[in-house]
Structure 1
Amino acid sequence: MRRRALLGLAAASLASPAFAQGNAAWPTQPFRIVVPFAAGGPTDIPARLLAEELGKVLPQRPVVDNRTGAGVVVGTDLVAKAAKDGHTVLYTTVAHSALRALFARLPFDPLADLEPVALVGVIPMVLMANKDLPVKNLQELIALYRANPGKYDYGSAGNGSALHLAAELFLREAGGLKVTHVPYRGSAAAMPDLLNGTTAMMLDVANNTLPYVQRGDVKGLAVSSQQRIPQLPEVPTFAEAGLPGYEAYTWHMVMVPRGTPEPIIRAINAAINGVLAKPDVQKRLEELALQVRADSTPESAGQWLQAETAKWEPIIRAAGIKPD
């Protein structure tokens, strides 16, 4: 733990005003972290925590700017068209990798007009079933759906949401199960119908599901990560439950307009990794079920984005998913 703390301090020191290559010192003025989601939500909270910590080690304090609209399009477009100086950055999620397939027309290109800086972390999802559904595990759920095509419904946070895509991937990987999708305006709106049995199943990010599974309000059947999560040690992974290869996350990433000078990108990356390496920051984020990546590079973040885009675009097109 002491070694991790020292590494964190060392990385944070790179983000000081002295960190510059050529004339590319950053930041030279207060900067914006644009979050294309509503204030107080599961994306906004980690973004604000990151902004708070960056403000402690940088000469200029960041301001979180929530810009919602058309999913994440409005906020993302703002950053794509911003000055290429590192003073307007995007804090986004897996939703970014779905944009090209979801929208026939966009005012920007998600891959060509924005550039990854750092992968902040990933949040696994939990497959939940109504507590009265006559299944005890994932294989029994699959068997129930296979024997009753089209009879059951599942909820999501909306058409094209990460929860919708993860559920469609599950249905495909389980052999093309026929379960009817019911979109809601957010997972909080979907939860009452899962609890009362109107819908049979829902995948949601782990931080939203924990209290319901821990209290026994719903059945937790599988987590979508490679390992079990500490908060739900009794819930198996999809692989352990008999569906190897299934993984789905929502993830958090910082991006800048394409063409931002590389030294500025490196400076932002160093600042982010520095604060993410701090044990107290990791603890706070892990309490939100976010598995921190304190060592990502712009290159590795770019590879992650490319892989996620290649993963989700075929799912969207095959299922004919359209945005709300």
Structure 2
Amino acid sequence: MLTPTRRLALAALAITPSLLAALPAAAQDAQPVRLIVGYAAGGPVDQGARLFGQALSKELGMPVMVENKPGANATIAGNEVVRAKPDGLTLWFAASPTITISPNVMTKMPFDPAKDLAPVAPILSYYNVLVVNNNEPYKNVRELVAYAKANPGKLAYGSAGVGGSNHLGALLFARRSGIEMNHIPYKGNAPAMTDVIGGQLNMMLDIISTASSYIHSGKVRAIAVTSPQRNASLPDVPTFAESGIEGLKGFDVGGWYGVYGPKGMAPELVAKLNKATNAALAQPDLKKRYKDLGYDEWTGNPQKLAERAAKERAMWATVTQGITVD
């Protein structure tokens, strides 16, 4: 006999008899859903996942627990999901770099995102902002470029890891503006931001959602955003293209979040999780929170997520030539 808690979990997922066979322990015991994050706690991906997890829990009628498994360009987290049972209880809140960039740069990629994962749903799109330590002498992109040219190799920028979007975004900026900077990889954006604030690091590209609080509180100074237009949450911060530097015309570097599960999930289960995800993203509180953080809404079906991933994986293949990660 099912307890009230078990009945709630079943009702929330609208489980059919055939699907129940794939989820015996999950549905009947109302175990929590594990939402895996490939970066350190406190960073932008972690923040986005925790907000989403709360909303998804309401839709599923069961707990959603965020687990941080940082390292190796978030492939540790991805591999955790790849090896999990395809029962819907282990999901990956993935940031696009691991799906679209890592396959092009990692010499020992532990899995193939296109073959070993089941796309569930797109979540949102994002852009980065270049922030610098408050004691740096440059106030805008033109001044930064002039300083870097006068002091080749002196400036260092941080990222969440080699091959990440903020690594390659900064690399593109350096290449297109004709400057040299040293790259310092971290295990997530949060520790890199700590060093920018403390002066151990000159600058970094960080996702607008988390960087904005440091900018508004005066802990770092914003130089430019990587989007084609200014971001609503940082209206006074210009785009890279606004610098007027020839190589930065049309500069547009962003990313996205999506939910994936292990390969082999029943189509009915993927459909149920996709429906619950879109319902969670439609909750007014979550929509407002994401908008206030500078995110762009991006929702849809699993195919939409898979198609964008394939397109961007091909694009980054040309940008990352010569970059390898062991």
TM category (shorter chain) comes to 0.7 to 0.9
1:299 aligns with one of 278, 303, 307: 303
2:233–2:293 contact (8 Å) kept in structure 1:
no
1:120–1:252 contact (8 Å) kept in structure 2:
yes
Aligned to 1:90: 92
1:168–1:315 contact (8 Å) kept in structure 2:
no
2:37–2:49 contact (8 Å) kept in structure 1:
yes
Letter in 2 for 1:46: G
Aligned to 2:57: 55
Unaligned runs of 5+ in 2: 1-10
Give the Cα–Cα distance (whole angstroms) in 2 for the partners of residues 88 and 312 of structure 1. Answer: 28
1:299, CA displacement in angstroms? 1.5
> Where do 1:176-187 residues align within 5 Å?
176-187=178-189
1:147, CA displacement in angstroms? 4.6
TM-score (ref. length: structure 1):
0.80
Question: What fraction of aligned residue pairs are identical, expressed as a percent?
Answer: 36
Distance 1:275 1:148, change over 3 A: same
Distance 1:51 1:308, change over 3 A: same
> Where do 1:134-173 residues align within 5 Å?
134-173=137-176
When you count helix as a share of all residues, which structure comes out higher?
2
1:69, CA displacement in angstroms? 4.5
Residues 182-237 of structure 1: per-residue CA shift (max 9 Å, x gap): 33454444345545655443211213322443344443221112332222110012
Unaligned runs of 5+ in 1: 1-14
Residues 80-136 of structure 1: per-residue CA shift (max 9 Å, x gap): 122334332211112312322332123321221113221211232111234444434
Aligned to 2:7: none
Letter in 1 for 2:130: L
1:272 aligns with one of 270, 277, 289: 277
1:287, CA displacement in angstroms? 3.7
Aligned to 1:289: 294
Letter in 1 for 2:58: K
Please, what is the CA RMSD of the aligned residues? 3.0
Distance 1:118 1:196, change over 3 A: same
Letter in 1 for 2:277: I
TM-score (ref. length: structure 2):
0.80
> Where do 1:210-229 residues align within 5 Å?
210-229=212-231
